[in-house]
Structure 1
């Protein structure tokens, strides 16, 4: 009797899948639909990047448009961090200290922590809310509603009469930013074929850089403006993006995976047709069959759709990976070496040099992203890129700390500044990209949105702690560590390097159903790349379903 269990379980899996698929493809035989799902998966593995680009231009376009929402969060994060060293902003919202540098205005460390964390706190709740909103309304309506809300919240920051009101406005603006940051990579992973997944999920990171580059340029142009418009205009620029994106995203197709989870198969097929050319090598019906097959496989693996399900069974491991890989963007030293204008000021560089270096650093980040796309991602796996990048950044941070002994000499201060730019370049070659791509693909499809939300919130939680500590590390009225701060973040980067070696699996080239099987079989991280699986193999499917139910 026990020997019949795998076959019986497999039949139950197949029957459940066939019923769902058949309801979406009434004119086709059940066996033919299953065969199409398998064929679609096999063809998707064989397509090259250029073939995918030619076959799915609209999927690329809509993914880019959704990710463009993230530009605003990247812009604001850079804006607030750089405002600490911005003369007119410090005079409006800071206090005067006659004993520092012969008399200067600056924000106290508590207020630096408070306003630096404000949007992150709002984004934390925005991310959690997004996990439910997408289930109820879908990606499209959630994004549109968030853009409208952001338009209203920017008024608070623009007209803020004091730092308390400004902080409250940043918290409210953080709510839609959290939605954008968690929705964009999830949407990209659901509308794109396998070979384009990492490029467009990590494109979200490029949108952050674009926002930072815009912020650096705006601040550089207004740094010598002695009036209140020197800091008001940068806030007002944030109104441009909703005005640009809302009219476009009204016409965006909904995620076919979301529609399948809701049982709206006809709409899912229509969405798939909008995302690809008629000449694409995979028929939309076949792609739909593959989506339904994967969704039903996960149902048989008892994968739920609630936040609590992210912490059950094999989903716990997938959630851990997504959370740690996102948190690594902070723990690799981002609060110190990225947006480092305040650090530049503390080591004695003037405002003009500081902002020139800031723009140059953001430009290097953009170049690093492009090099990662064309020279690293096509040839190396996510795990390899992460480990080498983290090791290099750890070394750079330690070197900055060592050089701090000699910062009394301007040449060494400038060397430290240049090393932060090198760190930025390496970050965008590696962890900056992988940190967005892996969370969007490592979670099961039924929990993808919530896995991304939890991962992004792990980033925000760690970021709140880092934002609270960093001003104390750097502020001359507090610990005043200057370059010695490199030792602190170099240590956390080393911890993340060790974690990655033992826990980060290789997901490059794996379809979602293959990842389901690999995680269900509890394959170790270092064996993910070499393990051969077949998600359509009846005996293998039966085995993992039985193990999941036990």
Structure 2
């Protein structure tokens, strides 16, 4: 059981619609999250052999433990690799496209985790921007939101593996759990040859025939036969080639700072409501509140429920909109995080209080993974202008990493002693940020459901308040210049079920 700011183990061991891409695309591109490193390490760091390998023995408690500083560094330092991956990805995509990025898993533990997170940083930028460009507007939330499904599914697989491997008395348990992270890299490499480049990126690089060929592959045969792919290419040529890639400084000029600010804020809020706490310290939390024998089971239940809600969230964003789903998700998180803090703060906590706190933790995480979690990726991927889309995603993900680093590094000190020893009261802190998130969404987050990326440009050019985006009717120059037949064809491209 956790206590004294350390992780302990006794000497004996621890107790629809069709997507307008290839059918294997989300699986291939999100493969790096299939066995999520943070979720895997959440359980690995409580394995008795792992604690013996990297911790020290406490004679008084007759346990092996990782000191608070070691726990903090092992969970936070790898995020520096993710930060590096996030910062280099923008120029890489602009030059080479979305599909030249691969990943690898070195054997060394901490250095290996840092390399893993470089790959994660690349994937978390490449995939959402790619999917936002290649998917029809009515399916963009579904496609980009799938990243959260793979994150939670990876956590579920990692949790099941951790529960099974925690019974190993030798080092092979935590070594196998760590080595399993090489599987997604192989999946990605095998799937990349079957994954097409973004037509928008191809058009922007004067590769019209390749872009048209890609559309012929990913659009329904009916649209191909009717020549609507050629019309789509014409629309892209008229819009994308007018947007030369701008430098990093353009992110904060008068024309773009609002869009950049939205991406940065929602990516920061995703971490400030405790998502990293849930994934990195979930098992530790269950042990600390006195549920050591059920810690892995509850973590698996938590992950399983989150997988279901993440899948539901993929549908919600294109049905009810990004703004409404995110707003309601934030205030519901606030309620259950306050319940965690309130029930956990009782001096004489009953068994019912403890299990109520666990239920609140599971519901909070489930709501997060269905709402704010995927919403951050969706919004950051679609809010940037064509000339800065990759850089907008890169800088917002980089901030996400910085905030995540702070959260992961400070959590052991906030959770236990030496430190603030807040325990379940930590829920109040995350609740405060969730409440701030709800207020921010109401006043600042625009609704971009069903809008093409070209329409998004017009919406921001109109300088509307966030709550008026949904009702505003766009009249872009490409719409005006089209004949009635062409307008109908373009509308069918954007709204067809492939």
Q: TM-score, normalised by structure 2?
A: 0.88
* Match in the other structure for 2:75: 116
Going from structure 1 to structure 2, the CA distance change for 1:172 and 1:336 (only over 3 Å counts) comes to closer
* Match in the other structure for 1:509: 450
Write the distance in 2 (CA, Å) between the matches of 1:306 and 1:207: 32
Please tell me whether residue 397 in structure 1 is matched to residue 353 in structure 2.
Answer: no
Alpha-carbon shift at residue 393 of structure 1 (Å): 0.4
* Match in the other structure for 2:50: 89
Write the distance in 1 (CA, Å) between the matches of 2:52 and 2:358: 26
* Match in the other structure for 1:67: 30
Going from structure 1 to structure 2, the CA distance change for 1:297 and 1:503 (only over 3 Å counts) comes to farther
Please tell me whether residue 129 in structure 1 is matched to residue 59 in structure 2.
Answer: no
Write the distance in 2 (CA, Å) between the matches of 1:62 and 1:479: 45
* Match in the other structure for 1:341: 283
* Match in the other structure for 1:433: 374
SS where residue 194 of structure 2 aligns? coil
The structure that is helix-richer by fraction is: 1
Please tell me whether residue 449 in structure 1 is matched to residue 394 in structure 2.
Answer: no
* Match in the other structure for 1:38: none
User: Over the residues paired in the alignment, what is the CA RMSD in angstroms?
Assistant: 2.1
* Match in the other structure for 1:43: none
* Match in the other structure for 2:98: 139
Describe how 1:181-260 pairs up with structure 2 within 5 A: 181-260=124-203
Please tell me whether residue 478 in structure 1 is matched to residue 441 in structure 2.
Answer: no
* Match in the other structure for 2:306: 365
Q: Is the 8 A contact 1:83 1:90 kept in 2?
A: no
Identify which range, 457-466 or 406-415, moves more after superposition: 406-415
Alpha-carbon shift at residue 199 of structure 1 (Å): 0.6
Q: CA offsets per residue over residues 369-394 of structure 1, 9 Å max, x none?
A: 222234x3343111011111100101
Q: Is the 8 A contact 1:202 1:437 kept in 2?
A: yes
Please tell me whether residue 288 in structure 1 is matched to residue 233 in structure 2.
Answer: yes
Write the distance in 2 (CA, Å) between the matches of 1:538 and 1:192: 20
Write the distance in 2 (CA, Å) between the matches of 1:361 and 1:229: 26
Going from structure 1 to structure 2, the CA distance change for 1:405 and 1:532 (only over 3 Å counts) comes to same
SS where residue 475 of structure 2 aligns? coil
Write the distance in 2 (CA, Å) between the matches of 1:334 and 1:238: 21
Q: Is the 8 A contact 1:64 1:203 kept in 2?
A: no
Identify which range, 521-530 or 167-176, moves more after superposition: 167-176
Alpha-carbon shift at residue 297 of structure 1 (Å): 5.1
Q: CA offsets per residue over residues 336-357 of structure 1, 9 Å max, x none?
A: 344511111111112x400000
Write the distance in 2 (CA, Å) between the matches of 1:346 and 1:185: 36
Q: Is the 8 A contact 2:138 2:318 kept in 1?
A: no
Write the distance in 2 (CA, Å) between the matches of 1:253 and 1:387: 35
Going from structure 1 to structure 2, the CA distance change for 1:467 and 1:282 (only over 3 Å counts) comes to farther
Describe how 1:100-115 pairs up with structure 2 within 5 A: 102-115=61-74
SS where residue 274 of structure 2 aligns? helix
Describe how 1:454-465 pairs up with structure 2 within 5 A: 454-465=395-406
Alpha-carbon shift at residue 507 of structure 1 (Å): 0.6
Alpha-carbon shift at residue 539 of structure 1 (Å): 9.1
Q: CA offsets per residue over residues 292-328 of structure 1, 9 Å max, x none?
A: 22224545xxxx4332222222311111111211222
Select the structure of larger CA radius of gyration. Answer: 1
Alpha-carbon shift at residue 422 of structure 1 (Å): 0.7
Write the distance in 1 (CA, Å) between the matches of 2:39 and 2:278: 12
Count of aligned residue pairs for this structure pair:
462
SS where residue 168 of structure 2 aligns? coil
Q: Could you tell me which of 303, 318, 322 is aligned with 2:263?
A: 322
Going from structure 1 to structure 2, the CA distance change for 1:170 and 1:378 (only over 3 Å counts) comes to closer
Write the distance in 1 (CA, Å) between the matches of 2:144 and 2:452: 15
Alpha-carbon shift at residue 538 of structure 1 (Å): 8.7
* Match in the other structure for 2:487: none
Alpha-carbon shift at residue 129 of structure 1 (Å): 0.9
Going from structure 1 to structure 2, the CA distance change for 1:273 and 1:69 (only over 3 Å counts) comes to farther
Alpha-carbon shift at residue 475 of structure 1 (Å): 2.7
Q: TM-score, normalised by structure 1?
A: 0.80
SS where residue 105 of structure 1 aligns? strand
Q: CA offsets per residue over residues 20-69 of structure 1, 9 Å max, x none?
A: xxxxxxxxxxxxxxxxxxxxxxxxxxxxx64x54xx3x445334421223
Q: Is the 8 A contact 1:59 1:276 kept in 2?
A: no
Write the distance in 2 (CA, Å) between the matches of 1:247 and 1:296: 32
Q: Is the 8 A contact 1:514 1:533 kept in 2?
A: yes
Q: Could you tell me which of 324, 332, 347 is aligned with 1:384?
A: 324
Identify which range, 364-373 or 220-229, moves more after superposition: 364-373
* Match in the other structure for 2:460: 519
